[in-house]
Amino acid sequence: MAWNAPRCHNCEALQQENAALRSQLLVAEANLRASEAERREAEARLALCLERANLPKQEQKYNGVNTYTVYDNIDYAGMYSPLRAL
């Protein structure tokens, strides 16, 4: 004789909510992978631009992420000036 578990009143609603949350999680994971790929691509483009321009760069850490300040070779009152656009 099979034992029938009592049905909870909101089981179906909880299952629907669970399915919606899982789909939201899948979308968020896909977006994260896409933004990581975009970041890597941007870093590669920056490295290529720096290599082509042969400009000095200053590596910095910002929240554990490498960032770069690029300087041109023009001396403004004894200071290097950041490039406006790369």
51-78: string of b/e by CB count within 10 Å (b at 16+)? eeeeeeeeeeeeeeeeeeebeeeeeeee
pLDDT tens digits along 8-17: 667 888 888 8
H helix runs in the chain, sequence order: 11-53
At 22 the pLDDT is 92
Query: In this structure, is residue 70 part of a structural domain?
Result: yes
Tally of domains within the chain: 1
Q: 0.95 cut: is pTM over it?
A: no
Query: In this structure, is residue 39 part of a structural domain?
Result: yes
At 81 the pLDDT is 47
pLDDT tens digits along 22-69: 999 999 888 888 888 888 888 888 888 777 776 555 555 556 666 655
Distant-in-sequence, close-in-space partners of 18: CB < 8 Å, separation ≥ 6: none
Query: In this structure, is residue 6 part of a structural domain?
Result: no
Q: What domain range includes position 56?
A: 11-82
Cβ–Cβ under 8 Å, residues 57 and 69: yes
| More confident of the two residues 73 and 66 | 66
